[in-house]
Amino acid sequence: MRSRRSFVRSITALSAFKLAAPELLQAMPRNTNNKEGDGFTFLFQGDSITDGNRSRNNDWNHVMGHGYQYIIASRLWYDLPQKGFHFFNRGVSGNKVTDLAARWQTDTLDIKPDVLSILIGINDTSAFIDGNKDFTAGAYESGYRQLLQQTKRQLPNVEFVLCEPFVLPVGKVKDNWQQYADEIAKRAASVKKLSVEFNTVFVPFRGAFNKVLSKAPADYWIWDGIHPMPAGHELMAIEWMKEVGKKIKFIR
């Protein structure tokens, strides 16, 4: 009788743990050296474009938010269920590189991703244009580099995916287009430079958005010059999968 009661208590505790903290189950130790991707953890980091109104609790209906990261996770979870992938979204609306640094240990390093995708830069750009000279392109590159160095020290096998920041001439961005275009270009160049320096996957989002302007106007792809429309997020997911698939061969 005693062993039966103990068994029931154990099962009850495990069920409560699953309901209360599904992401804690995802964060349990995993095989992070499997080149075939079994058990891989994918982490998306960034600002509001990545945040996508994601849930901050155990609501699995919204855990990835909406947007490119949701499309990517959905597709890979569907196509490769045998791989046992884990996906995390830790984008936070309004974040700049300095904000990432403040939460990097908890929201990145503690998760121990195998694939770390980063999209950051539009808020750094806007802050500089609005007059805050602490957010120069040089400061952006320096802070970004420090994050990558810190991550490599603690997670030497991590695969970085560095995503190019972008804008299109819509809304307030269009009102100050030349400055936005110039400043985002500087930060995009920094991301490309860091990608070469750290031998990462580079996703040319900025270039991809510029190319599709021949198909439809800017506000078809990005509604306010910064945040993509549904078609824009689909474009991002396609570009991400294409570029990541060149290096991580089980992704098609």
Per-residue pLDDT reduced to its tens digit, 185-244: 999 999 999 999 999 999 999 999 999 999 999 999 999 999 999 999 999 999 999 999
In a domain, 121, yes or no: yes
In a domain, 105, yes or no: yes
Q: What is the pLDDT of residue 42?
A: 98
What average pLDDT does this structure show over 119-141?
98
Q: Rounded to an integer, what distance in angstroms lies between the CA atom of residue 160 and that of residue 73?
A: 17
In a domain, 238, yes or no: yes
For residue 66, CA distances in Å to 25, 91, 190, 218 come to 23, 11, 27, 20
In a domain, 5, yes or no: no
Q: Rounded to an integer, what distance in angstroms lies between the CA atom of residue 98 and that of residue 159?
A: 22
Which of 47, 48, 114, 195 is labelled catalytic? 48
Say how many domains are in the chain: 1
In a domain, 10, yes or no: no
- The CATH number of the domain holding residue 173 is 3.40.50.1110
Active site residue 227: yes
Which of 38, 99, 219, 224 is labelled catalytic? 224
| Summary mean pLDDT of the chain | 89
Angle between helix 137-154 and helix 177-197 axes, rounded to 10 deg = 30
Active site residue 3: no
Which sign, positive or negative, has the C-alpha torsion 169, 173, 176, 178?
A: negative
Which of 51, 86, 114, 227 is labelled catalytic? 227
Q: What is the pLDDT of residue 60?
A: 87
- DSSP one-letter code for 229: P
Per-residue pLDDT reduced to its tens digit, 9-35: 333 333 333 333 344 434 333 434 456
In a domain, 23, yes or no: no
In a domain, 86, yes or no: yes
Is pLDDT at 97 greater than 60 in this prediction? yes
Q: What is the pLDDT of residue 136?
A: 98
CA R_g for the chain: 20
Is pLDDT at 62 greater than 90 in this prediction? yes
What average pLDDT does this structure show over 146-152?
98
What domain range is 165 assigned to? 35-247
In a domain, 28, yes or no: no
What average pLDDT does this structure show over 103-125?
98
Higher pLDDT, 36 or 140: 140
Active site residue 48: yes
